[in-house]
């Protein structure tokens, strides 16, 4: 009669279960890595311009993310040609901001710009978001002369669901 070693069978089963568990873990990590790659942000240019006056305000619409997307604004440069100088108020809103009195709700930043030079503001991660159904607005007030003011910059465009999932950890 042949004696079977029962302990060998138990060891083999434990080893195979460990290998299966390691493969499952590897596949989950690979799936997460593939999702992160598939939902990686795309660099999106921001542009807008308007003519300032020495009184009143000009409102520049710089667009917004498409439905289901979110912009993480990383950089904005605001400047004018010639003698243009003034104060720029930056908003992320679903509709045009009110300028008189100046609307505070939705304001993300304010900056001044000088004659012949663009003022560049840089933003860190999650500091300045434009959510789905919002637009990026720049309101120029207290401009010194009637000149063209240019707004340019860069945003990272994310899938909103993937961005929300990543930043909610």
- Using only C-alpha atoms, the chain has a radius of gyration, in whole angstroms, of 27
Render pLDDT for 6-48 as a digit per residue (tens, 0 to 9).
Answer: 566 667 676 777 778 887 887 777 777 666 666 677 889 999 9
Cβ–Cβ under 8 Å, residues 97 and 57: no
Residues 88-105 have pLDDT tens digits of: 899 999 999 988 888 888
Q: pTM of the entire structure?
A: 0.70
């Amino acid at each position: 009669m042949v004696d079977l070693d029962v302990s060998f069978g138990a060891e083999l089963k434990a080893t195979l279960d460990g290998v299966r568990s390691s493969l499952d873990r590897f596949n989950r990590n690979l799936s997460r890595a593939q999702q992160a790659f598939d939902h990686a942000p795309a660099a999106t240019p921001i542009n807008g311009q308007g003519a300032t006056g020495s009184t009143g305000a000009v409102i520049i619409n710089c667009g917004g993310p498409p439905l289901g997307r979110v912009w993480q604004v990383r950089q904005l440069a605001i400047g004018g040609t010639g003698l243009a100088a003034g104060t720029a108020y930056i908003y992320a809103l679903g509709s045009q901001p009110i300028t008189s009195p100046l609307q505070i709700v939705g304001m993300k930043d304010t900056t001044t710009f000088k004659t012949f030079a663009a003022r560049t503001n840089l933003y860190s991660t999650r500091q300045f978001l434009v959510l789905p159904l919002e637009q990026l607005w720049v309101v120029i007030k207290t401009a010194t002369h009637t000149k063209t003011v240019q707004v340019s910059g860069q945003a990272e465009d994310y899938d909103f669901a993937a961005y929300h999932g990543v930043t909610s950890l």
